[in-house]
Structure 1
Amino acid sequence: MTLDARQSQHAPELRAAARHLNRRRFLTVTGAAAALAFSVNLPAAGTASAAELDAAKITDNPFTLGVASGDPLPNSVLLWTRLAPAPYQSDSGLPAERVLVHWELAHDERFRRIARRGTTIAHPEFHHAVHVDIGHLDSGRLFHYRFRVGGWVSETGRTRTAPAAGARSSALTLAAVSCQAYHDGYYTPYAHLAQEDVDIVFHLGDYLYEYAVNAVGGQRNYIDRTLPAVFNRETVTLEDYRLRYALFKSDPDLRAAHAAHPFVVTWDDHETENNYADDIPENSVPPEEFLLRRAAAYRAYWENQPLRSPQRPAGPDMRLYRRLTWGRLAQFDVLDTRQYRSNQAYGDVAHVPGPESDDPARTMTGATQERWLLDGWRASRALWNVVPQQVLFARRNVDLTTPSRVSMDAWDGYAASRRRVLDGAKAAGVENLMVLSGDVHSAYAFDIKDDADDLSSPTVGTEIVATSISSGRDGADRPANWDTYMRANPHLKFYNGRRGYVTVALDRERARADFRTVPYVLTPGAPIATAASFVTEAGEPGLKPA
C-alpha cells in the first residue's frame, strides 16, 4: 500500500485526532479558565463540598421536577431527581449547600416490602441533582421508588431491572419518543404513554429545545399563568440550559411518563444547538465560544437525566453511546450521531448525492464509536439487535426526480458511513436489525435496503421512526408531501405527520410496531389511537401490515 493510500485509509482518524488536538489546545490555552469550570471544583465521592442545609428550612416542595429512572441493567437501577422548590429561579430556591436525600426501593407501591434504602447527597455544584445507582439487585424484577427530604416525600416512581444476561427472555415491549418542543404544544402523548404497559422507553433526542419561549408558553397560549422573562431567549449559558430543563420537566405529563417507566436517553442537536456537527456550530461563532456552550449544554443534560456516572461530562465531551441488553432477546446499541459527526455536506440543504456527501472519509459516528458498534454486533448473542439513534437511517428521497435530493443532516448525507455500518452488520451475521429513529416530527416505517441506490436490493433490516411528542404542532395524518414521499420511496411502508409515539413488542417470533397518535396538541386532553401497525418476522426482514 502506498503512503497516499495509507493516509487516505486513515483520513477519518487523522482528522478526528487533529480536531481533538485543537480542542485540547483550546482547553489549555484560549478558554482554559472558563472551560475548566465544567470539569473541576466538583465534589469527589465521599467528600463534603459545602455546608449541609438543615432540611427543616426547606418550606416548599423540593420535588417539583418529579422523579425518573434509567438504563436498567440486570442487577441495578439508576434513580434520579433534582431538588427545586423554586424551579424557575437560577438557584432553584436552594442555597449553595449540600442537602441530605433519603431514598427507598420497594417491591410494592405501598413500600411495605423494602428492597433497599439509603441516603445520598444533593450537591449544589450539580444544581442539587441526585443520581442513585443501586446495585446487587435481582434481575428481571419490578420495583417502586421514592425520595425524601426532611418532611417532603416525592411521588412514587416505578422501574425494573433487566433480565439476566443469558436469560432466554420471551418478550419485551418498548416505546420510542422524540422531539418535545415546549412552545409547540402540550405533552398529551406522554399522559397516554404513562398508562401504557411498556418495559422501557427510549428517548431519541430533542428532549430540550434551545429556542426562546415567550410569556404565554408559545402555542400553549397560557391565559392563567405567565412564564418568567428568563425563558424568552435562546439558551447559551449553563444557567440558561438548567432553567430550560426546569421548564420542560415541570410539565405534569412528562413527569408522569418518567415516573411510570425507566427511560434510556440520547440527544440530538437541540439539546445544544440546531444542526451542530461535532465542534462546528450552526452559526459563525468562534470555536472556543461554541465549545463553552457545548460544555454548558452537556453538563445540564447530565444533571437533568437519569444517567450513570460514566456518562458524566468532562468539559465539552461526554460519552453518551452505550450498550444495554434484555437477556438474549435484544441488544440495544444506543448511538450518539451528533458529537462526532463530520460537518453536513452541501451547506446542510437537501441535495442530490454527490462527491461531497459520498466522501469515504465522512463519518456520522466517529471512528471509535463505529468500531464499538461493529465489535458489539460481532459479540452479540441477542435475537434482535436494536439501534436507538437520532436521524433517519434509511434512504428518504424527497422528490420524484432522478436522482432525488436527500437530507444532508441524516444518514443520506453520510453514505459511506452507512455503508460501513451495514457491511459490519452483515459480517457479524446480524439477521434481525432494527433501527429506532426520531428527529423528523413524523412517523415512518422503512425497510432498510442493502443498497440505498437500488431500492430493489435485498431488505436487511427495518427502521421504525417515532414522531414527535409536540414539535410541529398538531400536524396531519397526510402531510402535503405525503404522496410524493410514498411514490419516491417504495421501501417506505408508512408515513404519518401527527404527534405521538411508537411502541414495539419484541418476542422470539416477530416484532410488532404500533404507531400511536393524537389528533391535536395545541389544546390539552386529546385522545390516543393506533394509526397503523406493522410486523417483521424474526429471520425475515421487512415490514408487513399487522
Structure 2
Amino acid sequence: MSDQQLPRRTFLARSLAAGAGLTLGRAGLWLPSSGAPAVVTSERRRPVLPNGVQSGDPWPTRAVLWGRTDRPAQLEVEWSTTEAFRTVHRVRGPIARAEAAFTTHLDLTGLPPGETIFYRARYESLETPGAFSEPVTGQLRTPPRASARATKPVRVAWSGDMVGQGWGIDASRGGIRMYEALRRAEPDVFVHSGDNIYADGPLQTEVPLDDGTVWRNLVTDAKSKVAETLDEYRGAFAYNLLDDNARRFGAQVPVIAQWDDHEVVNNWFHDLVLEDDPRYTEKNVRVLAQRAQQALFEFLPIRRNAAEPNRIYRSFSMGPLLEIFVVDLRSYRGANSPNRQTSASRETAILGDAQLAWLERGLRQSRATWKVVACDMPIGLVVEDRLREGVRNYEAIANADAGVPLGREHDIARLLRALQQAQVRNVVWITADVHYCAAHQYAPERAAFTQFDAFWEFVAGPMHAGTFGPNALDGTFGPEVRFASAAPKPNRPPSDNLQFYGTLDIDPRTRALTAGLWDVTGTRLWSVELPPAN
C-alpha cells in the first residue's frame, strides 16, 4: 500500500542560522574566522548557538534540553504551554564550559504532563555579562502520566544509521532529508536506534554515482579521517547538526537515543585491538570507547543516571498505553566469537546480568498496554564479523545455527522464558543496524527454543547511509519475514530513496498498535495492526 504522511501539528520551530564571522575548524566545530569581515564589538561579544537546540528523554513532568554555544556562557530558558508565551516560566540553566565542548544539558522539571511545551533558549556570556545570544525556540510534548486515562493517540518513530558508508551532507540534494521526513511525521518521540554517527567512516568530497552525477559531501576536519581523539568524536556528532533539516527536527521532536558500534568503531567490544587497521594510531578500543562515550553524552540530550553516569539503558513511560525500554548491547557484551557456547557465561553476555535483570523486572512491573523494547541490534538476523584464524565470528545475537540457544542467544532465551512465565503480554521490539527495513514475526511453533510467546520485531533504517540487505535469518527463535525492503545491490546512496523509518501508533479507544514502515519520501510501504492481548 502507499499512503502519504500527513502533518498533525502546525508549530514550526525557528532555527537560528550560524552567525556571521564563523568558519569550520578542527573537528567540525564552529570557530571565529580570521578572514571574516569586521563586526561591531557588541555583536562579537554575544554568544552564538551554531547547532540549534534539542530535547530528549521526556518524562511526564520533565525533559532534557540540549544546547551548545561558542564560548563560556550560562543558559537561560523560558517555557510556556502557549506558543505566544502568555504565561512564562524562567529557568537559569548550567554553564557551557570548554571541557564539555560548550554543550549544556538542562533537566527541565515541573512541566505539566500531556502538554505541548514551547521553549526559547539563550546564553549569557561569562566574559561579557549582559551580552546574550539571540534566542532559539523549540517545542516538545510531555507524555501523560501512566495513571491517566488514555484519551489521545500515541505515535513513536524510530530509525538509525547516520552519515555512513561515505554519504554525508550534500546540500544540493536537500541535505539529510530523513530529518525532514521525520519532522513531518510528527511523532510524540523519536527513538534513535544507534549509529548516531560513523566515527569510523571518513567522507570524501565527491562520490561518483551510477547515473553519472556526483554526490558532493560537506567535509569537515573531523569527518576527513577516522575519529580517535575526543575532539574528533565531538566533531563527528557536531557534523550532523550542520544540516538545516537536523536543526529543525531537533527543535521540534524529542529524542530518545541509544548507541551501537559506529559511535566508536565497526563491530567493537572493549577488548578489541585494531592491529590490522592502519588508519588508527590509537589501537586500544577501550580507550576509543571512553572518548566516544564522553562525546555521545555531551552531544545528545540524554539524562545522566545519578548512580551510574555512563549508563545508557533506561525506560520511559509514555502514558497508560506505552512504555519504552531502551537497551544497550555494546557496554556489557563479551568479545565477538563463533557464538556457539553451550552455556551462559561472561563470554556469551550481550545484555549482561544487571541489565537483563533490570529489563525482566521492568517488563513484568509495567502497567502500560504496550511494552516496546528499543534494541540496537536485531534478534534473529545474522550479522557476521571478521574471520579469525579461518573461523567466522558473529557481531549480533544470532549465530547462523537454527538449533537450541547458543552463545549470546542464552540472554534472549532467558528473557523470553521469564516473560512467558510472568504472563507479560504485548511486547514488541524495534531496531535498526542492518540498513534496510523489515517486519519479523517470531513464533514458538517454528522455533528450536519454544518457551516464549509469539512477538514482533520491526527493523527500520538507514536514516542517511548506504542501503544493504537482506540478511539471513537464524531459526532458533522461529522468525518469519512478513515484509522487507532492501537494496538491489550494496551501498545504495540516499538519493535512491531507500532510506527508512518506522512508526508505532496506538489508538486510545481500541488500544491497538499499528506498526508502519516508511521511506524517506513519507510513503508508507507496509503496516500491520496488532490488537492488545489483554
Cα separation, partners in 2 of 1:222 and 1:104, compared to 1, 3 Å: farther
Tell me the equivalent position of 2:329.
337
Superposition pairs of residues 459-498 of structure 1, within 5 angstroms: 460-473=454-467, 491-497=480-486, 498=498
CA distance in 1, matches of 2:479, 2:109: 48
Measure how far apart 1:233 and its partner are. Answer: 0.9
Residues 84-125 of structure 1: CA deviation (Å, up to 9, x unaligned): 4xxxxxxxxx4xxx3122211121233333244334311221
Query: Given the alignment of the two structures, is residue 301 of structure 1 paired with residue 302 of structure 2, yes or no?
Result: no
Tell me the equivalent position of 2:315.
323
Tell me the equivalent position of 1:195.
184
CA distance in 2, matches of 1:210, 1:341: 20
CA distance in 1, matches of 2:355, 2:474: 33
Residues 367-423 of structure 1: CA deviation (Å, up to 9, x unaligned): 11001111112211111111011001235699xxxxxx9992222142111101101
State the secondary structure of the residue aligned to 2:292: helix
TM-score (norm 2): 0.75
Q: Match for 2:422 among 420, 428, 445? A: 428
Does structure 2 conserve the Cα–Cα contact (< 8 Å) formed by 1:511 and 1:538? yes
Tell me the equivalent position of 1:181.
163
Tell me the equivalent position of 1:360.
344
Letter in 1 for 2:227: T
CA distance in 2, matches of 1:227, 1:419: 44
Superposition pairs of residues 445-456 of structure 1, within 5 angstroms: 445-450=439-444, 453-454=447-448
Query: Given the alignment of the two structures, is residue 172 of structure 1 paired with residue 154 of structure 2, yes or no?
Result: yes
CA distance in 2, matches of 1:410, 1:452: 21
Q: Match for 1:158 among 139, 151, 170? A: 139
Tell me the equivalent position of 2:12.
none
Tell me the equivalent position of 1:81.
67
Query: Alignment identity in percent?
Result: 24
State the secondary structure of the residue aligned to 1:69: strand
Letter in 2 for 1:327: G
Measure how far apart 1:302 and its partner are. Answer: 0.4
State the secondary structure of the residue aligned to 1:152: coil
Superposition pairs of residues 150-299 of structure 1, within 5 angstroms: 150-170=131-151, 171-181=153-163, 183-185=166-168, 186-214=175-203, 216=205, 227-281=219-273, 283=275, 289-299=284-294
State the secondary structure of the residue aligned to 1:234: coil
Tell me the equivalent position of 2:74.
100
Cα separation, partners in 2 of 1:69 and 1:406, compared to 1, 3 Å: farther
Measure how far apart 1:219 and its partner are. Answer: 7.2
CA distance in 2, matches of 1:263, 1:448: 28
Does structure 1 conserve the Cα–Cα contact (< 8 Å) formed by 2:140 and 2:254? yes
CA distance in 1, matches of 2:337, 2:444: 23
Tell me the equivalent position of 1:111.
85
Letter in 1 for 2:340: P
Letter in 1 for 2:155: T
Residues 151-174 of structure 1: CA deviation (Å, up to 9, x unaligned): 432432111222113123243100
TM-score (norm 1): 0.73
Does structure 2 conserve the Cα–Cα contact (< 8 Å) formed by 1:180 and 1:468? yes
Cα separation, partners in 2 of 1:355 and 1:133, compared to 1, 3 Å: closer
Letter in 1 for 2:442: I
Letter in 1 for 2:161: C
Letter in 2 for 1:447: Q
Structure 1 range deviating more: 265-274 or 185-194: 185-194
Letter in 2 for 1:129: T
CA distance in 2, matches of 1:321, 1:212: 26
Does structure 2 conserve the Cα–Cα contact (< 8 Å) formed by 1:72 and 1:78? yes
Query: Given the alignment of the two structures, is residue 131 of structure 1 paired with residue 90 of structure 2, yes or no?
Result: no
CA distance in 2, matches of 1:101, 1:266: 25
Does structure 2 conserve the Cα–Cα contact (< 8 Å) formed by 1:377 and 1:428? no
Residues 175-196 of structure 1: CA deviation (Å, up to 9, x unaligned): 0010012532542121111122
Measure how far apart 1:199 and its partner are. Answer: 0.5
CA distance in 1, matches of 2:44, 2:51: 16
Tell me the equivalent position of 1:412.
398
If each structure's helix is expressed as a fraction of its own residues, which one has the higher value?
1
Structure 1 range deviating more: 113-122 or 530-539: 113-122
Measure how far apart 1:128 and its partner are. Answer: 0.8
RMSD of Structure 2 on Structure 1 (CA): 3.3
Cα separation, partners in 2 of 1:451 and 1:222, compared to 1, 3 Å: same
CA distance in 2, matches of 1:254, 1:147: 17
Letter in 2 for 1:148: R
- Unmatched tracts of structure 2, length 5 or more: 1-40, 124-130, 169-174, 385-390, 400-407, 487-497
Tell me the equivalent position of 1:515.
517
Cα separation, partners in 2 of 1:120 and 1:469, compared to 1, 3 Å: same
Measure how far apart 1:328 and its partner are. Answer: 2.2
Q: Match for 2:373 among 383, 387, 392? A: 387
Cα separation, partners in 2 of 1:74 and 1:513, compared to 1, 3 Å: same
CA distance in 2, matches of 1:387, 1:266: 12
Cα separation, partners in 2 of 1:511 and 1:406, compared to 1, 3 Å: farther
CA distance in 1, matches of 2:272, 2:383: 26
Letter in 2 for 1:65: N
Measure how far apart 1:211 and its partner are. Answer: 2.6
Letter in 2 for 1:516: W
Measure how far apart 1:243 and its partner are. Answer: 1.2
Cα separation, partners in 2 of 1:531 and 1:455, compared to 1, 3 Å: farther
Cα separation, partners in 2 of 1:108 and 1:378, compared to 1, 3 Å: same
- Unmatched tracts of structure 1, length 5 or more: 1-54, 85-93, 347-353, 399-404, 519-526, 541-546
Measure how far apart 1:294 and its partner are. Answer: 1.3
Residues 467-500 of structure 1: CA deviation (Å, up to 9, x unaligned): 2112215x6xxx6x59x87999871101012212
